[in-house]
Structure formats: C-alpha cells, structure tokens
Amino acid sequence: MTPDLDRRLHRVPRPGAHKVVVLALDGVYPFELGIPHRVLGSAGGRYEVLSASVDGGPVRTDADLTVTPGHGPEALADADTVIIPPHALVPGRAAADPAALAALARVRPGTRLVSICTGAFLLAAAGLLDGRRATTHWALSDYFQELFPRVEFDPGVLFVDHGDVLTSAGAASGVDVCLHLVRGDHGTEVANRVARVCVVPPYRDGGQAQYVERPLPPASEAGTGPTRDWALGRLGGPLPLHELAAHAAMSPRTFARRFQEETGLSPGRWLTQQRLRRARRLLESSDLPVERVAHEVGFATATSLRRHLAAEAGVTPSTYRRTFRATY
C-alpha cells in the first residue's frame, strides 16, 4: 500500500471511535469476513473494527484456510455494533451452534446487530428477528422460512434496516449494508469517499431487488408445456390468451386454469417474466438501444420495459446494463 493511500484510509481508530466486532463462526466465508474491515476501516478512523471467534481460537473457513481472529467472545460485551458474516450451513444440523448463541448473549442491550447473508440464521435462532422483517440470500428463502416461521422474511431486497438490527443478502450486499451504516452514522459525503477508496458503487438502495435467477418450469408433453415452449420462440410478438389456448387445443378458461396449476402463474404474468428474462440477457450481452430491446422481447414501448423491470428488479434498464454488462 502506498503512503498516500494509507494516509487517505487513515486506518488508525480515532479516540472514542465506534467499536465494531465481527464475529467469525465456523465455516465463515473469507470474502464477506473482510467486508466490514475493508469498508468501515476505510472511514478515516471513525470505526475501530475488531474480529472475534466464539471461543478465542482459530476459525475454519469454507475455503482451504483457517483464520485466527484477534479476540474472543469477551470483545462482544462492549461493542457498539456486532456484525455476523456468513458461514457454511450444514443441512440437518441445528440452525446455530450453542457456543455461537452463548457468545451472542454477551452483547449488551442497545448494541446494533448486523448480519450478512447466512449470518441472519444466528440472529433468527437467538429470537432477535421474531416479528421483524428480515432477509438473507434468496437461494435460502425456503430453508430460512421453514426454520423461522415467526420472522417476516423478504427474499427480494438487498438489506433491511430496523435501526438496531440490520440483515442483508448475499456477498456484495454486505458492502451495501456497511456503506449504509457509514452513510447513516456520518453522512453521504463520508460514505461516498469510502466507496471511492473501495472502488465500489456508492449507493444501492436496500429495497432494490436481489438479482434472482428464476428457472423456467419444466415443460412436459402434456398440459401447457408444449405451448410454453412454442411461446418462448415468439416473445417478440403479441401472444393473447385465445391464441395460446388455441395452440394447446383448449378453451381460454381451461387453459388459464391449467397454466396456473402447472406454473403457479397466470399466462400474462408468466409471459411478462419471460420477456424480462430475455430483456435482461440482451441488456447484458448486446449494445441494442433500450427501445430495440423492448421491441425484441415483446413490450410495446421502452416505457413498458422500464416499468416492468423497475417493478421486478428495482432498477432501470440502463442501470441494469451498467451493473451486469459483460466486459470479457
């Protein structure tokens, strides 16, 4: 690191700096473990960021390495903020290790709690999310809701902020929630400066949708499957219900009912999803103007595409393209 960059980061905590303790659990993900240190540690000494394990010993990561946090669970007792980074979950085991719950119990009342990805499982197992809205990685939605039915789970956002408890989704949303902490604690100017140092986007709203991959329901030889396959080859044109039903040799009413039973969606909603799926691929892989993308996938206007994409992903087509455009 150059002296100039080291000066800009000013990693030495200021007197009275906000104390953040990152609790590393067994199977911790190395990338996310480092996010609080990288982001909050780049805030000009405004935060003192420490790491801790549940027993003061080394912690096995989900990669082929082991890390040794500098502190044991006693560090949690006087923390101002405690962050739980994600760790590997083992199906069939308890949602949280008793030692992890015991360590979390050391946290004093009023301490701000933050989870990244599967870190929410520990907060939920401790009962700290009961009756609250919370999130984690979208791929774990069903498992999380099965284990913690008293939590109001929202799989479609980047993070949820209750003030005293924040939960965030997978990987990069940990950066988003840490920047959100800086912004709330010290204002937009400081947060933007930290984002520039870390070379990350300065702001993604917590309510923005996770970029969820929704697989197509498998087509079968019976029912509406062949018609779904047929429709996918004709997304650029109008596909009214009567035309879909005629292809399936059913009445519109019967077709709509069968379609809902097989896919869980109405024909109209399914077509919108497939058009958005195709539009997202074109935005990622082509230079086509937004108006042309809209035409190619069957939206009447670019305004219609913008409205539907904003409803699904919380962003405009141009923002989506900047975020996901392939550069290789």
Element (H, E) at 211: none
Q: Beginning with the edge strand found earlier in the chain, give each strand of the sheet holding 112-116 in spatial order.
A: 47-53, 18-24, 81-84, 112-116, 165-168, 159-161
Model confidence at 260, pLDDT cuts 50, 70, 90, reads confident
State yes or no: pLDDT of 209 exceeds 80.
no
pLDDT at 302: 94
Model confidence at 183, pLDDT cuts 50, 70, 90, reads confident
State yes or no: pLDDT of 35 exceeds 50.
yes
Pull the structure tokens for residue 181: 């902490």
State yes or no: pLDDT of 11 exceeds 90.
no
Residue 10 zone, left/alpha/beta (φ > 0; ψ -120 to 50; rest): left
pLDDT at 8: 53
The whole-model pTM stands at 0.65
Percent of the chain with pLDDT over 70: 87
**Contact assessment for residue 185 and residue 80, using Cβ atoms and an 8 Å cutoff:** no
- Most distant CA atoms of the chain, gap in Å: 76
**Distances in whole angstroms, Cα of residue 286 to Cα of each of 78, 237, 293:** 52, 20, 9
The mean pLDDT value for 8-17 works out to: 76
Burial per residue of 16-36, b for 16 or more beta-carbon CB atoms within 10 angstroms, e otherwise: ebbbbbbbbbbbbbebbbbbb
pLDDT, greater one: 215 or 259: 259
pLDDT at 320: 83
Pull the structure tokens for residue 12: 């030495």
State yes or no: pLDDT of 61 exceeds 80.
yes
Lowest-confidence pick of 174-183, 194-203, 247-256, 301-310: 194-203
State yes or no: pLDDT of 126 exceeds 90.
yes
The mean pLDDT value for 116-122 works out to: 96
The mean pLDDT value for 227-249 works out to: 93
State yes or no: pLDDT of 328 exceeds 50.
no
Nearest to 54 by CA among 66, 71, 67, 39: 71
DSSP, collapsed to helix, strand or coil, labels residue 83 as: strand
pLDDT at 211: 53
Mean pLDDT of the chain: 87
